[in-house]
Amino acid sequence: GIQVEQSPPDLILQEGANSTLRCNFSDSVNNLQWFHQNPWGQLINLFYIPSGTKQNGRLSATTVATERYSLLYISSSQTTDSGVYFCAVSPGAAGNKLTFGGGTRVLVKP
């Protein structure tokens, strides 16, 4: 099956700093999502981005499908950005059976 690797595995940031999280995948995908899992365990949808670039406030994401990677940018980080960020992909033509990466654990210090 498809392999998903996220880097770095851990990230410690000072409040206000910028960061880039990376997701590499081993095969072509039709779906790609970024999630934030908050300290209470809830999975929050950040981006549905099988290709191209999207922005939502301080967060933005870019997926280069032909080169099999996606990037999540966090700008002016806040303590509420702490948690685990997951990339998940699906190669299927229909449906969304997601394969998750191992996550990037982010801690933003005040």
Partner 1 sequence: NAGVTQTPKFRILKIGQSMTLQCTQDMNHNYMYWYRQDPGMGLKLIYYSVGAGITDKGEVPNGYNVSRSTTEDFPLRLELAAPSQTSVYFCASGQSEAFFGQGTRLTVV
Binding site for partner 1 (CB under 8 A): 1, 4, 31, 33, 35, 41-43, 45, 48, 86, 88, 94-103
Choice between 1 and 57, CB closer to partner 1: 1
**Distance of closest approach, residue 59 Cβ to partner 1, in angstroms:** 16
Closest approach of Cβ 16 to partner 1, in Å? Answer: 28
Dihedral (CA of 93, 98, 99, 105) sign: positive
DSSP bridge pairs for 83: 106
CB nearer to partner 1: give 16 or 44. Answer: 44
Specify the residue, 42 or 76, whose C-beta has the smaller distance to partner 1: 42
Q: How far is the CB of 99 from partner 1 (least distance, A)?
A: 8
